[in-house]
């Protein structure tokens, strides 16, 4: 799923940011590179230090075709706390933080917490409920993170569409995303839109007004709301 989602995002024009760790991080970077897309690795070492050592080749390729970032000086080695600290940079770079799989003590959940503090979107790929590796991420899903049940969900959250396919514009809040998705089912009155989205009337009205002012939807004289 990491390869499919990261590859699709890269092909659609997104920059994939991760931490170059073993497993999911590396798979995300590799998928972006394989798609001839953009990727950024944020390190818990100096930018010139490949960590883990198994990723020397990946580090070199990202440095040539993407970007390597670190707030630590050149040559600096990792230390206790350097990886959680770098996760805040990943969260700050990302419009959407996507958690593929995470146990309760996972660094991915530190990134998700940082993203939430910054008011960014957090999304989760559901995992088996009996898998310890998915317990932390599934808990986030239970508590309100966006579910990613198809690659298209990730593209929509990022305001992107597959290359050559018209898609959603960049949406600026969860309520805008809900309204845009609700209009997938066709034109709607304000009451119908509130029902479809589950948003309070005042929030729905405010969001519709914002989308209309940006030229993304229109409110017809008949009272129906539609996407352009």
The answer, yes or no, to whether residue 165 has pLDDT greater than 70, is: no
The mean pLDDT of 124-146, rounded to a whole number, is: 96
In whole angstroms, give the CA distance from residue 138 to residue 220.
Answer: 41
Answer for the pair 161, 7: CB distance below 8 angstroms, yes or no. Answer: no
Answer for the pair 47, 69: CB distance below 8 angstroms, yes or no. Answer: yes
**Domains of the chain and any CATH numbers:** 2-157 (3.40.50.450), 174-227 (1.10.10.10)
The answer, yes or no, to whether residue 164 has pLDDT greater than 60, is: no
pLDDT at res. 220:
87
pLDDT at res. 102:
97
The answer, yes or no, to whether residue 171 has pLDDT greater than 90, is: no
Answer for the pair 68, 41: CB distance below 8 angstroms, yes or no. Answer: yes
The answer, yes or no, to whether residue 161 has pLDDT greater than 80, is: no
Question: Three-state SS string across 11-30, please?
Answer: HCCCEEEECCCCCHHHHHHH
The answer, yes or no, to whether residue 219 has pLDDT greater than 60, is: yes
Answer for the pair 50, 200: CB distance below 8 angstroms, yes or no. Answer: no
Give per-residue pLDDT as tens, 64-77.
Answer: 999 999 999 999 99
As a whole number, the mean pLDDT across the chain is 92
The answer, yes or no, to whether residue 168 has pLDDT greater than 70, is: no
Percent with pLDDT over 90 in the chain? 77
pLDDT at res. 184:
83
Give per-residue pLDDT as tens, 74-88.
Answer: 999 998 899 999 999
Answer for the pair 101, 134: CB distance below 8 angstroms, yes or no. Answer: yes
């Amino acid at each position: 799923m990491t390869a499919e989602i990261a590859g699709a995002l890269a092909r659609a024009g997104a920059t994939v940011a991760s931490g170059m760790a073993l497993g999911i991080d590396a798979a995300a970077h590799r998928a972006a590179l394989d798609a001839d897309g953009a990727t950024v690795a944020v390190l818990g070492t100096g930018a010139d230090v490949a960590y883990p050592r198994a990723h020397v080749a990946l580090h070199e390729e990202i440095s040539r075709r993407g970007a390597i970032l670190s707030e630590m000086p050149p040559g600096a080695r990792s230390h206790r706390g350097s990886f959680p600290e770098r996760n805040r940079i990943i969260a700050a770079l990302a419009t959407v933080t996507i958690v593929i799989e995470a146990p309760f003590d996972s660094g991915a959940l530190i990134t998700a917490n940082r993203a939430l503090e910054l008011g960014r979107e957090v999304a989760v790929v559901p995992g088996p409920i009996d898998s310890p590796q998915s317990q932390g991420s599934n808990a986030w899903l239970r508590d309100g993170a966006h579910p990613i049940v198809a690659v298209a969900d990730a593209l929509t959250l990022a305001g992107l569409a597959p290359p050559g396919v018209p898609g959603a514009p960049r949406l600026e809040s969860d309520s805008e995303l809900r309204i845009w998705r609700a209009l997938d089912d066709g034109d709607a009155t304000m009451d119908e839109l509130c029902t479809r989205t589950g948003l309070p009337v005042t929030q729905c009205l405010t969001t519709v007004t914002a989308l209309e002012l940006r030229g993304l939807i229109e409110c017809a004289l008949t009272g129906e709301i539609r996407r352009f």
